Amino acid sequence: MKPVGLYIHIPFCNGKCPYCDFYSVTPKSKTVSNYVDTVCKEIDKADGVYDTVYFGGGTPSLIGSDNIARIMSHINRTSDCEATLECNPSDTGAVNSKFDFSVVAKSGINRISMGLQSADDTERKTLGRRGGCDDVERAIKRAKEAGIDNISLDLMLGIPEQTEESLKKSIEFCKNSGAKHVSAYILKIEERTPFNKIKDTLSLPDEDATCDLYFFAADELEKAGFNQYEISNFSQPGFESRHNLKYWRCEEYLGIGASAHSFVDGKRFYYERSIDGFISGNPPVDDGFGGDEEEYIMLALRLSEGLIFENFEKRFNKPVSEEIISKAKELKKHKLVKVTDKNIALTVDGFLVSNAVICELIGY
């Protein structure tokens, strides 16, 4: 049986950040218990082998280290499995935190992803982040003491009142913390969020300033030893997120939990955004997509390696069309893409306008 990725969605949060559009609800002990039971049953039913595992949310650490370990005990993993757990540092790094990193480390978790967002506590407060940078530092220290050294931190760009100076402080925090990976996302005001209701009152940088912050972040992260391997992701060599690479390379993964998505046997499907529906046994819904050529190209171009011609030909039994290569050569004149005899890849400038560039290439 070929190993695939496994994504587990834990849809519980103590409080929703004003920019967040992910599915989550306030946890209740009985609901959490039933949810964990159902996740374990679904894993057993799938009977797969997994070389990457990713607990996303919500706030997965909120269900407690014992519940994480229980779920992990049901997962048939390869010996080199990358197992990531998203943690909220205000919970796991709080002085009185009961979360035990040693328990999840023994269960097989070997990578932690934390939402730093900013190392400036004023910016963190604006973003609705509970706790301060001292909580982040404690959480990282506890994870490392438990033997989990592979730490990823999230940063946000283009947030209210952000400057290059405050962003540099955040990047220096990432470097000094010993993090192996940084995800740097530009703030997008989603329709179903509190920020959308007050967007006209937020002191956000304009489009040009946001672009400058992105370029600044990419440059400073590179100087700090984090190589950009995807539009929003940077890592020290060898510490790219193997699980997320599956998404961008159109490799197979199974998603379990309310709102979790899957790509298996060339088909994409998902569970609806309902905890009760998931616990009740409602099956996943077909979303109508299935890893076709355009989707493959779109996802490949998110990566710094870009669209590799040889990989495309092996997958679809035909070469990349001359029309796409011709369009890419035109965009190369504007320094938006790089074109070689082996691949097409976006430049840093191209990453910033990736949607427009990709649409131009595939004819949308």
pLDDT number for residue 24: 75
Q: Is residue 282 part of a domain?
A: no
Last-in-domain residue among 178, 212, 247? 247
Is 70's pLDDT higher than 80?
yes
| 243/357 same-domain check | no
Q: Does residue 7 surpass a pLDDT of 70?
A: yes
The mean per-residue pLDDT over the stretch 64-83 comes to 98
Looking at the structure, tell me whether residues 239 and 315 fall in a common domain.
no
Does one domain contain both 342 and 204? no
Indicate whether 277 belongs to any domain. Answer: no
Range of the domain at 315: 306-364
Does any domain span residue 200? yes
SS (H, E, C) the chain: CCCEEEEEEECECCCCCCCCCCCCECCCHHHHHHHHHHHHHHHHHHCCCEEEEEEEECCHHHHCHHHHHHHHHCCCEEEEEEEEEEECHHHHCCCCCCCCHHHHHHHCCCEEEEEEECCCHHHHHHCCCCCCHHHHHHHHHHHHHCCCCEEEEEEEECCCCCCHHHHHHHHHHHHHHCCCEEEEEECCCCCCCHHHHCHHHCCCCCHHHHHHHHHHHHHHHHHCCCEEEECCEEECCCCCCHHHHHHHCCCCEEEECCCCEEEECCEEEECCCCHHHHHHCCCCEECCCCCCHHHHHHHHCCECCCEEHHHHHHHHCCCCCHHHHHHHHHHHCCCCEEECCCEEEECHHHHHCHHHHHHHHHCC
Is 285 among the domain residues? no
User: Above pLDDT 90, what percent of the chain?
Assistant: 80
pLDDT tens profile 226-270 = 999 999 999 999 999 999 999 999 999 999 999 999 999 989 999
Whether residues 17 and 139 fall in one domain: yes
| Each residue's pLDDT tens digit, 204-230 | 888 999 999 999 999 999 999 999 999
Q: Specify the pLDDT at position 94.
A: 86
Based on the fold, state whether residues 39 and 139 are members of the same structural domain: yes
For residue 364, name the pLDDT band (cuts at 50, 70, 90).
Answer: low
- The whole-chain average pLDDT of the chain stands at 93
Do residue 52 and residue 164 come from a single domain? yes
Of residues 217 and 290, the one with the higher pLDDT is: 217
Q: What number is the average pLDDT over the span 16-29?
A: 78
- Across 80-84, 134-138, 289-293, 352-356, least confident range: 289-293
pLDDT tier at 19 (50, 70, 90 boundaries)?
confident
**pLDDT number for residue 218:** 97
Q: How many structural domains comprise the chain? A: 2
**What is the structure's pLDDT at 162?**
92
Examine the domain organization and report whether 151 and 232 are in the same domain. yes
Same domain, 199 and 110: yes
- pLDDT at position 130 over 80: no
Is 273 part of a structural domain of the chain? no
The verdict on residue 258 lying in a domain is no
